[in-house]
Structure 1
Amino acid sequence: MIRIGLISDTHGLLRPEALAALRGSDFIVHGGDIGDAGILEALRAIAPLTVVRGNNDREPWAEAIAESEFLKVGGVLVYAIHDLSQIDIDPVGAGVRVVVSGHSHKPGIEERDGVLYVNPGSAGPRRFKLPIAVAELLVVGTSVTARIVELA
């Protein structure tokens, strides 16, 4: 079993609870709106990191970060993009099993046409009354399950 930790919308705040929830991950995906390059260093210290740039990542340190990325884990292809409304591929046609996004700050998991769409929500500053959360993917062969982890 492979565990992929998902985090998004940190906006410069990496909570200790988020780090604790991600520990033990084999890989981590950050869905953008990072807010500070130090967050990427802290996540890379836990596991290999795939990261995409969010609409608020405008500082020079973020210029080299792509707006979308693929991650192949075992028999599963994961596609990451910050804002799902800007998806520029056909996930089914591309063989993608999981699409990870952020932007809305609303955690959610939905399966459509055999593709699992996961938004881990926001792990950074609270926005409105939305929960503070991360998520995880568990990969066994080509099987994937996802769950949202709300942080206290």
Structure 2
Amino acid sequence: MNGPAVRVLLLADTHGVLDPRIAELAQDCALAVHAGDVGASAVLEALAAAAGRVLAVRGNNDVPGKWLGPAADLLALPECIEVPLPGGTLVVEHGHRHSASRRHLRLRAAHPGARAVLYGHSHRLAQDCATAPWILNPGAAGRARTGDGPSCLLLEAGAHAWRISVWQFPALPRGTRVRA
């Protein structure tokens, strides 16, 4: 896919709660891509309202007993997707099927033709861009296990270059009401 650069919000591990500062970033993006453990239909709806186009995969916690919203929304989430972008393909999976000790190596081996692989599951922000394909984890974009605060990545995908920027926000004070 060629053409002008595309701005893409990369996020994961919302577990039913989307941090409003991350939702605001989606407004400047052509696409939001969620790497699983979405947790609620409302998260996808909020992203769609902001970015317009949303793609998401199912995580290990995206199961009927934990899903908030219509079951059809949950069932529509695939386990892996390939997203054609200017300059290459972004592959997205949750990452829970690969052991933590060698996850990046295994993700590279599983998707050798990708420009980048986006995964979640660990709730840990990571950019491993030393070897192709890049391995990206945006951290957690909700409230659960956010460490230093909720985070996401912004990808500027152009035909000749891709750039990643990291967005991390201070944790919201306890008791702050956040809607999905």
**TM-score (structure 1 length as normaliser):** 0.89
Cα distance in structure 2, aligned partners of 1:10 and 1:23: 18
Distance 1:24 1:39, change over 3 A: same
Work out which of the residue numbers 47, 56, 66 in structure 1 matches 2:52.
47
Greater shift, 67-76 or 57-66, is seen at 57-66
Q: Deviations over 1:87-110 (max 9, x none)?
A: 596322xx2001000000001100
Task: State the shift of 1:112 in Å.
Answer: 4.6
Residues 60-71 of structure 1: pairs in structure 2 closer than 5 A? 60=71, 61-71=73-83
Which blocks of at least 5 consecutive residues in structure 2 are unaligned? 65-70, 99-106, 171-180
Consecutive aligned runs of 4 or more in structure 1 exceeding 6 Å deviation: none
Match of residue 135 from structure 2: 117
SS at match of 1:35: coil
Q: Residue type of the partner of 1:22?
A: A
Contact 1:12 1:36 in 2 (8 A): yes
Task: State the shift of 1:49 in Å.
Answer: 1.2
Q: Residue type of the partner of 2:127?
A: I
Work out which of the residue numbers 125, 130, 139 in structure 1 matches 2:157.
139
Match of residue 74 from structure 1: 86
The percentage of aligned residue pairs carrying the same residue is 28
Task: State yes or no: 1:91 paired with 2:103.
Answer: no
Work out which of the residue numbers 51, 54, 61 in structure 2 matches 1:56.
61
Task: State yes or no: 1:107 paired with 2:119.
Answer: no
Aligned residues: 150
Cα distance in structure 2, aligned partners of 1:148 and 1:72: 22
Task: State yes or no: 1:27 paired with 2:31.
Answer: yes
Q: Deviations over 1:22-55 (max 9, x none)?
A: 2211111001101101111111122311100010
Q: Residue type of the partner of 2:110?
A: D
**TM-score (structure 2 length as normaliser):** 0.76
More strand per residue: 1 or 2? 1
Cα distance in structure 2, aligned partners of 1:128 and 1:75: 31
SS at match of 1:104: coil
Cα distance in structure 2, aligned partners of 1:130 and 1:85: 26
Cα root mean square deviation, aligned? 1.9
